[in-house]
Amino acid sequence: MQAPLAVAQRAGKRARVKSIHAKIANRRKDYLHKLSTSLVAGHGAIFVGDVNAAGLAKTRMAKSVLDAGWSTFRTMLQYKCADAGVWFEQINEAYSTQTCSACGARGGPGGLKGLGIREWTCPDCGVRHHRDVNSARIILARGRARLEGGILVL
């Protein structure tokens, strides 16, 4: 919907711009509802990183962060999990891109310069990691560890 939106904005058609924005919002909300419902229906526990979406919305990544609706998606997951009896937990994702998911050593690229490095090899065990996949594995492992600690045995 970006092309029709741009045309309407350049033409100064306020009503049309408002209508297109409403369609975009409805499509996003519909997609997020369908995705969150399918995730909750297919899993017994869901772990998400505690991404500061509001902070990222103030950076040059603002358009993609806001288009994805991260906070809305997290909220939908949270209330749908509570309703369905699925375990939902937000996990601290600090150093999740730098920690090796195979051996646990922190040897990945760090700092602002390291953000551009998408793949890296662990200096301790030699396993090659993709930054995002490795982070997801670390968040899953941390979530499972919290889940194990949160179950009461009677």
Domain total in the chain:
2
125 and 104, same structural domain? yes
Which structure tokens are listed for 92? 């601290």
pLDDT digits (tens, 9 = 90+) for 54-108: 887 888 878 777 777 888 999 999 999 999 999 999 998 888 888 999 998 998 8
Residue 100: give the domain boundaries.
Answer: 94-154
Residue carrying structure tokens 């049309």: 16
Q: What is the pLDDT of residue 151?
A: 57
**pLDDT for residue 154:** 43
Q: What is the pLDDT of residues 2-28, one digit of tens each?
A: 899 999 999 999 999 999 999 999 999
Listed residues 41, 63, 91: the one ending a domain: 91
Q: What number is the average pLDDT over the span 106-132?
A: 87
> Quick one: 84 and 109 in the same domain?
no
Same domain, yes or no: 102 and 75: no
Q: Which of 75, 91, 107 is the last residue of a domain?
A: 91
Residues 48 and 28 in one domain: yes
Shared domain check, 135 and 63: no
Q: Are 125 and 103 in contact (CB under 8 A)?
A: yes
Last residue of a domain, one of 36, 58, 91: 91
**DSSP H/E element including 121:** strand 119-121
- Tokens for 45, please give them: 């526990």
Which residues lie closer than 8 Å to 117 by C-beta, 6 or more apart? Answer: 109, 131
Of all residues in the chain, the percent with pLDDT exceeding 70 is 97
Does residue 123 share a domain with residue 64? no
Work out the mean pLDDT of the chain and round it to a whole number. Answer: 89
Same domain, yes or no, for 98 and 43?
A: no
- When pLDDT is cut at 50, 70 and 90, the band that residue 153 belongs to is very low
125/103 Cα distance (integer angstroms): 7
